[in-house]
Amino acid sequence: MPSGIRDADAVIRVRDLQKRYGEVQAVAGISFEVGRGEVFGLLGPNGAGKSTTIEILEGLRAQDAGEATVLGLDVRHQASALKERIGVQLQSAALYPRLTVHEVLELFASFYASSVPPDQLIEALDLGERRNAQTRQLSGGQRQRLSVALSLVNDPELVFLDEPTTGMDPAARRSLWDLVRGLRAKGRTVLLTTHYMEEAEELCDRLAIMDHGRILEIGTVDQLVSRRFTERTIRYERLSGIDDATLAAFPGVTRVAHEDDEATLLYTRDVAGTIGALLGAAEARGVEPRGLGIRSPSLEDVFLALTGHAIRD
């Protein structure tokens, strides 16, 4: 059980979930929990099994093995009760091409006993200018925003978003992030998939890194980074007069490296001690380090270390 979630608070509970398509093991035995009010991310490259996982949790696809409960309902046997209570944004939603944005929102609203007024969603997803456009006339990013709007029609307590910002320009992406934060502020739970590191870092309270149908690691961004990397990197423009043996003896330094001929990198477990020693040594030699900076490992570094490849290759 991940830290911070008591069993009773879990709105999604997945145990050893598996799904195979012919030869392809799309989901290879994954387990995780999502707590009420969390924004939880599945981060992984193409083919990692993110959509398969999310579609099983939405009750749209049957697993081969393993257990999945969502809002206390078994996704395999109680899918229709589940659909009332969740919001679903699909990665490739088929929208009615000849209906307008407003009409398609009205249509979806009519499926539910209670629903959010279409114009409120049009406003929230910034689709006002396209209100009366047929969905086939929308740009990719606008279609994407409409599919997110549709997922919110029943004012769900749990929303599934499958790569919600793919195809969006940076402004639309940021405004969608704000919308997700707004859902969290209202106590809603969000499970989203993404292959954007920045999105995962900005938005997710916790995330699972997925590759080849497996979850490699789960945690907050800080936990993922600090579990794997205990060091920070200090970088500065190369100084003459301090040799590597001297640098290696500074407090906390575990490794000394050089970037081309231009910069020196000190890997350290004691940032303050290392910088103090560096400034002291430089002063004694009458020089001053320039371009001094500290770099912390990022989620991207974690991903690379875990999978051995970049998320887009």
Q: Which CB sits closer to ligand ATP, 26 or 121?
A: 26
Interactions with ligand ATP, residue window 73-132 (CB under 6 A): 91
CA pair distance 135, 95, nearest whole angstrom: 7
**Residue 295 tokens, joined:** 């770099």
| Shortest spacing between CB 254 and ligand ATP, in angstroms | 36
**Residue 108 tokens, joined:** 């979806």
Tokens 């307590």 correspond to: 157
49 contacts ligand ATP (rule: CB under 6 A): yes
Q: Which CB sits closer to Mg ion, 91 or 120?
A: 91
Q: What is the Cα 124 distance to its own chain's centre?
A: 21
Please tell me the total number of residues recorded for the chain in this structure: 313
Of the candidate spans 49-57, 70-78, 141-149, 175-183, the one that interacts with ligand ATP by CB under 6 A turns out to be: 49-57
Of the candidate spans 48-56, 149-157, 233-241, 293-301, the one that interacts with ligand ATP by CB under 6 A turns out to be: 48-56
Interactions with ligand ATP, residue window 269-308 (CB under 6 A): none
Q: Considering only residues 38, 52, 165, 281, which one is a binding residue for ligand ATP as defined by CB under 6 A? A: 52
Q: Considering only residues 51, 89, 115, 142, which one is a binding residue for Mg ion as defined by CB under 5 A? A: 51
- E strands, the chain, are 10-21, 24-35, 39-43, 65-70, 73-74, 86-89, 158-162, 189-194, 206-211, 214-219, 232-237, 253-259, 263-268, 293-295
311 contacts ligand ATP (rule: CB under 6 A): no
Of the candidate spans 7-15, 42-50, 178-186, 248-256, the one that interacts with ligand ATP by CB under 6 A turns out to be: 42-50
The percent of the chain in helix, strand and coil, each rounded to the nearest 5, is 35, 30, 35
Instruction: List residues binding ligand ATP (CB under 6 A).
Output: 21, 24, 26, 44, 46-52, 91, 195
